[in-house]
Structure 1
Amino acid sequence: MNDVLNLSSAWWTFVVRGAVTYLGLLTLMRLAGKRSFGELSAFDVVVIALAGGTLRTAIIGEDQGMLGPFLGVAGILATDKAIAWLSTRVPWFNRLVEGFPSLLVRDGRRDPTVMRRQSLTDAALDRALHAAGLEDEQDVVAGRLEPNGKITLVRRSR
């Protein structure tokens, strides 16, 4: 039972490794684009599971106890809280973390260049249109891919 609480390194290394791993993964996900945050497909779930398993060693190394992983998670949660706190108080930092929306549909016409850049298929946009009760983009003034990966549609007034 004593081995459960023993650490292979100083306690703070687990906290720092958790925080650095969180920031690294956040950066990679941000570089991957907005699409990865929207609808989760089976492929996205597999990527998330593999990333979590792969990064385990980055956070706790070879530590076999129970305390190390909890310290790593504490570092992740503290970093997440710090980023959220900073994002609510510093607008440019929030934009850096969150990103900007991308205009997919303008005045009833899709922008294939933006859709390709965002790795968004026509089928995904069609699903968003249908979910909004629209058959096609003709009645859309603006359709945006939001930083959180969701598609927002603004209908043309009648």
Structure 2
Amino acid sequence: MEYSTMILRTLVLYFVIILVFRIMGKREIGQLSVLDFVISIMIAELAVMSIEDPSTPMISTIIPISVLVIIQLIMALISLKSEKIREIVDGKPTVLIEKGKIDEYEMKKQRYNFDDLLVQLRENNINSVSDVEFAILEPTGKLSVIKKDEQDESEGNDAVSLLPLPLILDGKIQGEHLDRIGKTELWLRQELRKVGQRNLKDISFCSLHKNGNFFIDLKNEKK
């Protein structure tokens, strides 16, 4: 009887957890935020405890799992509305290498050692740090690497060496990113006016390409 109960609980919790993760959204395991990761571990622990102890009512497991899902959905909604909360929950990208130079301060701040850096560079088929234009540590812990453009390097053209960071998110100018590419808010507004974009609040995403052209995505834009 006890074994049949364990099997039944396992099947029920299997489908419950599938439903839970479908509700939480489509993210790969390596792309989970800290909040998603913690909630995933807690759900797994609750499921194991319920299977191991058949005397515990199933409702005692379902209720905590439901509460965790509600917390995750609420935090996800708040993160969509608030950039500050999004940074706290998900973190933000950190530039570790810029134009072939390692930022030791940021590495210490992120508790990221040189062995970690070299391993991830090799995984990106990079043999020398000097070949890297930018290396960005993503909130997921993955290192995104942008190689130097050989043509730009041979021409000595540093003006087009731009880090592909968003300049506008959800209608808000990203001052930190503008500072990094040596531009000002006034410059951004003037350039956007030239392409017919006067109201920044209508822009959901804006970035600057290496060729000097803007990529602009408008809010609620019909495809």
Structures share a fold, TM > 0.5?
yes
Is it true that 1:110 corresponds to 2:102 in the alignment? yes
Kindly indicate which of the two structures has a greater share of residues assigned to strand. 2
Give the secondary-structure state (helix, strand or coil) at the position aligned to 1:64. coil
Match of 1:15 in 2: none
Q: Which has the larger radius of gyration?
A: 2
Q: Once superposed, which parts of structure 1, at least 4 consecutive aligned residues long, lie more than 3 Å away?
A: none
Alpha-carbon separation, structure 2, partners of 1:138 and 1:157: 12
Residue 72 (structure 1) shift: 0.3
- The reply to whether residue 77 of structure 1 matches residue 84 of structure 2 is no
Number of equivalenced pairs: 107
Query: 2:80 aligned to 88, 93, 99, which one?
Result: 88
Q: Who is 1:154 aligned against?
A: 146
Code of the residue aligned with 1:114 in structure 2: it is E
Percent identity over the alignment is 20
Output the TM-score relative to the length of structure 2: 0.41
Does 1:67 pair with 2:66?
no
1:130 to 115, 122, 129: 122
Q: Distance in 1 between matches of 2:84 and 2:76?
A: 13
Distance 1:136 1:38 in 2: 26
Q: Secondary structure at the residue paired with 1:124? A: helix
Gaps of 5+ in 1: 1-36, 40-47, 57-62
Residue 111 of structure 2 aligns with an amino acid whose one-letter code is S
**Distance in 2 between residues matched to 1:96 and 1:136, nearest whole Å:** 33
SS in 1 for 2:72: helix
How does the TM-score come out when normalised to structure 1? Answer: 0.56
Q: CA offset at residue 149 of structure 1?
A: 1.5
Distance 2:105 2:85 in 1: 27
Question: Which one scores higher on RCO, CA 8 angstroms, separation ≥ 6?
Answer: 1
1:52 to partner: Cα distance: 4.8
Q: CA RMSD in A?
A: 3.1
Deviation at 1:113, TM superposition (A): 2.4
SS in 1 for 2:111: coil
- 1:145 paired residue number: 137
Deviations 1:55-80 (A, max 9, x none): 86xxxxxx932211210011001111
Structure 2: distance between partners of 1:149 and 1:38:
8
More helix by share: 1
